[in-house]
Amino acid sequence: MSSLDAVLSQIDANLDDSIDRLFDFLRIPSISTDPAFKSHCQEAANWLSAELNQIGFDARTEDTPGHPMVIAKGGEGQNHFLFYGHYDVQPVDPLSLWNSDPFDPKKETTPQGDVIRARGAADDKGQLMTFVEACRAFQQVNGQLPTKLTLFFEGEEESGSPSLVPYMEANRDRLSADLAMVCDTGMWDANTPSISTMLRGMVGGEVTITGPDRDLHSGMYGGPARNPIRVLTKILAELHDDDGKITLPNFYDGVDPVPADILKQWESLNHDGIGFLNEVGLSVPAGETGTSVLEQIWARPSCDINGIDGGYTGEGFKTVLPSEAKAKVSFRLVGRQDPIAIEEAFKTFITSRLPEDCTASFLLKNGSSATVMPLEAPEFGKAHQALSDEWPNPAVYAGCGGSIPVVGHIKEILDMDSLLIGFGLDDDAIHSPNEKYNLSSFHKGIRSWARVLDALA
């Protein structure tokens, strides 16, 4: 029996113990956003640190202005990997919608197979424990961890990660490795694992257009007085052309076509774009013409007005001609699009279209670039093969329409790419009542990390 086979057998044999440990972890109500649960966040960090110290790591919890970090180092070898996860969980309200206590985890049999039901079962306690339990199996079988590893867990992911960047910047050397691994994403479907290799970036914020210096009566002023809502709607309407393309000058600089082999793989997924839209009451793709729904979300930039506000918005009617109008606008970025250049282009787009007597002010967020993983790097190919060996279907190199901030921080602060492998499913109800994690996600997730670590060690 090869070393890997022995590790996989050990994982199978130990599954019940692994579940018991996950249940212990899930019982700790480590809700990071609610100060009432602060001690439980500390407790979860301590629990994790103690577990890691038992399986060959030198682990410790380290204080921050918020909840503590857990950092663990162990193993030896040429290749050094940083694993990131988070031990905090979302709040559980409305509690009345849960069918059982969110912090009393249960194994349940459902038509789709066995599941683990609890807050954090998937996000992210169950997911991060797949990696920890894989490490444990190596330690048990070989008496040592598979390679040089740094494990890094935060307790503020569900509450905005205020301590993350300062901690990463202050601990750059201790966190640096060759490649990061993150287990906080999902599978394509229950039989098809996925490596997320493209994450969209984002830039945007709020624009306020001001006209008259006070609210006016539209009877007395309607006609000659500039209406900022009208100015705003007219400018926003020009952000897209008739083909759904975004009209900011040079916006598409750095947007490359999806490589043919990736596009072919995506096409083979037979993604049901219409079905995806049907689930939210839509039936016709509204974005750029000539690109599939999947491509639009994973590999094309977009622009959305996320909020708009001006004048009288209460019940009934007031004939006000308001002094100002606001919109929140965001751009999802792909490829090498430059958030700073796009922020500037957006400001210029607005200000250059302002009519007389109007001014614009901006409250813009710090933008983030898209993340595109280097698929040509050998680690990605090896991880892809390892996942494909474990699951019924070959692994997918997937995109992700949203952003995962920590991946950007790992790239920017630590100059590392990330291998984003996770075993969540769309129906896991993370952030919602009755969160679950498939037992198969947990079990085969542990086995998957064993295969990946074996392949990359």
In the range 194-213, which residues lie near a second copy by CB under 8 A? Answer: 200, 202, 204-206, 211-213
Instruction: Give residues 244-303 in contact with a second copy (rule: CB under 8 A).
Output: 273, 276-277, 280-288, 293, 296-297, 300, 302-303
State both tokens at 55. 């399986």
Number of residues that bind a second copy (CB under 8 A): 79
Q: How far is the CB of 207 from a second copy (least distance, A)?
A: 12
User: Using the rule CB under 8 A, is 2 a contact of a second copy?
Assistant: no
Assign 102 to helix, strand or coil: coil
Q: What are phi and psi of 51, to 5 degrees?
A: -60, -45
Instruction: Give residues 95-114 in contact with a second copy (rule: CB under 8 A).
Output: none
User: Using the rule CB under 8 A, is 311 a contact of a second copy?
Assistant: yes
For 159, other C-beta atoms within 10 Å of its C-beta total 17
Q: Which helix (H) or strand (E) holds 115?
A: strand 113-117
Among 114, 189, 309, 389, binds a second copy (CB under 8 A): 309
For 256, other C-beta atoms within 10 Å of its C-beta total 11
Q: How far is the CB of 325 from a second copy (least distance, A)?
A: 7
User: Using the rule CB under 8 A, is 433 a contact of a second copy?
Assistant: no
Q: How far is the CB of 160 from a second copy (least distance, A)?
A: 10
CA angle, 416 then 369 then 159, to 5°:
80
Pairing of strands 324-333, 201-210: antiparallel
Q: How far is the CB of 214 from a second copy (least distance, A)?
A: 6
User: Using the rule CB under 8 A, is 367 a contact of a second copy?
Assistant: no
Identify which of residues 178 and 309 has a Cβ nearer to a second copy in the complex: 309
Only segment of 36-44, 149-157, 260-268, 316-324 that touches a second copy (CB under 8 A):
316-324
What secondary structure does DSSP assign to 189-202, as a single string? Answer: BTTB-EEEEEE-EE
Beta carbons within 8 Å of 316's beta carbon, 6+ residues apart = none
User: Using the rule CB under 8 A, is 427 a contact of a second copy?
Assistant: no
User: Using the rule CB under 8 A, is 230 a contact of a second copy?
Assistant: yes
Q: How far is the CB of 197 from a second copy (least distance, A)?
A: 16
Q: How far is the CB of 43 from a second copy (least distance, A)?
A: 30
Alpha-carbon distances, residue 250 vs 234, 340, 368 (angstroms): 21, 12, 18
User: Using the rule CB under 8 A, is 317 a contact of a second copy?
Assistant: yes
User: Using the rule CB under 8 A, is 73 a contact of a second copy?
Assistant: no
Could you give the CA distance from residue 70 to residue 128 in angstroms, rounded to a whole number?
13
Q: How far is the CB of 440 from a second copy (least distance, A)?
A: 24
Instruction: Give residues 379-408 in contact with a second copy (rule: CB under 8 A).
Output: 400-403
Could you give the CA distance from residue 282 to residue 275 in angstroms, rounded to a whole number?
9
Q: How far is the CB of 435 from a second copy (least distance, A)?
A: 17
Q: How far is the CB of 400 from a second copy (least distance, A)?
A: 8
Torsion of CA 38, 43, 48, 52, to 10 degrees: 130
Q: Are 26 and 119 in contact (CB under 8 A)?
A: yes
Alpha-carbon distances, residue 381 vs 51, 264, 397 (angstroms): 31, 17, 10
User: Using the rule CB under 8 A, is 223 a contact of a second copy?
Assistant: yes
Identify which of residues 96 and 283 has a Cβ nearer to a second copy in the complex: 283
Could you give the CA distance from residue 261 to residue 404 in angstroms, rounded to a whole number?
25
Helices 15-26 + 3-13 axis angle, to 10: 60
Question: Binding string to a second copy for residues 345 to 364, with x set by CB under 8 A, is what?
Answer: ----------xxx-------
What secondary structure does DSSP assign to 34-79, as a single string? Answer: -GGGHHHHHHHHHHHHHHHHTTT-EEEEE--SSSPEEEEEE--SS-
Q: Are 196 and 395 in contact (CB under 8 A)?
A: no
Among 113, 166, 249, 307, binds a second copy (CB under 8 A): 307
Only segment of 23-31, 96-104, 306-314, 367-375 that touches a second copy (CB under 8 A):
306-314
